[in-house]
Amino acid sequence: MTPPVAPAGWSRWLVPPAALSVHLSIGQAYAWSVFKPPLESALDLSGTQSALPFQLGIVMLGLSAAFGGTLVERNGPRWAMTVALVCFSSGFLLSALGAATGQYWLIVLGYGFVGGIGLGIGYISPVSTLIKWFPDRPGMATGIAIMGFGGGALIASPWSAQMLDSFGADRDGIALAFLVHGLVYAVFMTLGVLLVRVPRPAARGDLAGGTPVSAGPQVSARQAIRTPQFWFLWVALCMNVTAGIGILEKAAPMITDFFADSSTPVSASAAAGFVALLSAANMAGRIGWSAASDLMGRKNVYRLYLGAGAVMYLLISLYGDASKPLFVVCALVVLSFYGGGFAAAPAYLKDLFGTYQVGAIHGRLLTAWSTAGVLGPLIVNRVADSQESAGKHGASLYGLSLTIMIGLLVVGFVANELIRPVHARHHHVPAPRESADDATARDHQQSA
């Protein structure tokens, strides 16, 4: 599918809402926990089994983004958003069928595998387009879109819970809730498909005060993964995400355990409120820190994520069980860094590798997310289980895992420090007197 080229006078500020329509939809993934208790009760599942669709979805997100990134670059954002729409909505429809018939494997296949492909393609679909529209503020532009992924759960969580209350938490009620999700998200994502545009080649030099979008290094996706810069950034992102998701995945039981022995233990409702605060910090960090990276520089903002993140974990480890405000503030800061790391990554890639195939490179980088999505929860849960078996309780369940997280953040900090400009031997050389971006847009116009 060929993306339509924007007509003269088209406002670039119409593109972020198009991206948001997709990211706010696929951001529902962070609200999967709403369906876990009803599914466990209705289908007689264990907690591990009910988590499988979400885990497979995150794995497929990373894999589909990595392997589909080149196709996204080749076919454009409208094609990518359409694929994301079809896969994500179809995943819910398959899940509805699975819930209605009591076939849990259909829910795993639908939400986890098919829907996970929609997650990955949808996540990277607007990245290169936004960077081409906003070469002067790439961090802010991609932050606006990726903010939607973090904020999608703030909409989906209460909406899903209300549907389950209205339809019932049995198999039929869950199936109907899945069906409504699939249909409504299809309509909402269609808005992005219809609205998205790519900039005209002649206009790109004017978007950033006359600075061509393709100025600077231009590196292909295939060549980028052969550079040490890509892998240093991969490690930095993976360590940052591992630290954030370690808190996010076990937030409610963690804050409950930390203050279980205090005079004012944390109630279940307060723990749920803490989870909502973390989601808000995740969303705010995606736009706030990514926009700040346009002023501070990408390397400096990653120094903040990784260095200050290690300090936050150290404070939680040493004093977290003595002060609820300290625990909450430190956790909120870590989650804002978690979101900010995602949002600033595309702009960091643009700085290093240029805009030539930045969407495809971003897709490959997201395998760091898949790795961290397994690594973070595994560290926190496995250590907590082993400490509990040893007779420990409360905050002592997490002391070792917090220390491990600090070590991982230090590793990420060092990796970020090792990033240098990409050597010229890795640069892609466009056709004479024509940039790679302009060549791509010319091909789109000819094929149209």
> What is the pLDDT, as a whole number, of residue 446?
42
CA–CA gap between residue 312 and residue 329 (Å, rounded):
9
- What value does the mean pLDDT take over residues 367-378? 84
Buried b (16+ CB within 10 A) or exposed e, 184-222: ebbebbbbbbebbbbbbbebbbebbeeebbbebbbbbbe
Q: What pLDDT, on a 0 to 100 scale, did the predictor assign at position 209?
A: 44
Average pLDDT, the chain: 86
- Specify the range with the lowest mean pLDDT, choosing from 123-127, 215-219, 230-234, 383-387: 215-219
**Crossing angle for the helix pair 324-353 and 251-258, nearest 10 degrees?**
140
Average pLDDT for residues 217-239, to the nearest whole number?
94
Give pLDDT, residue 170.
93
More confident of the two residues 206 and 150: 150
Look up residue 86 and give its two tokens.
Answer: 């079809």
Q: Which residues contact 402 (CB under 8 A, 6 or more apart)?
A: 313, 314, 316, 317
Using pLDDT thresholds of 50, 70 and 90, give the confidence band for residue 58. Answer: confident
SS3 state of residue 37: helix
Instruction: State residue 444's pLDDT score.
Output: 45
Using CA atoms, how far apart are residues 376 and 274, in angstroms rounded to an integer?
A: 19
Residue 368: pLDDT band (50, 70, 90) is: very high
- pLDDT over 80 (residue 201): no
Once rounded to an integer, what is the mean pLDDT over residues 62-79?
A: 88
For the segment 310-326, the average pLDDT, to the nearest whole number, is 91
pLDDT value for 429: 60
The Cα–Cα gap between 314 and 149 comes to 28
pLDDT on residue 277? 86
Q: Is 357's pLDDT higher than 80?
A: yes
pLDDT at 448 over 80: no
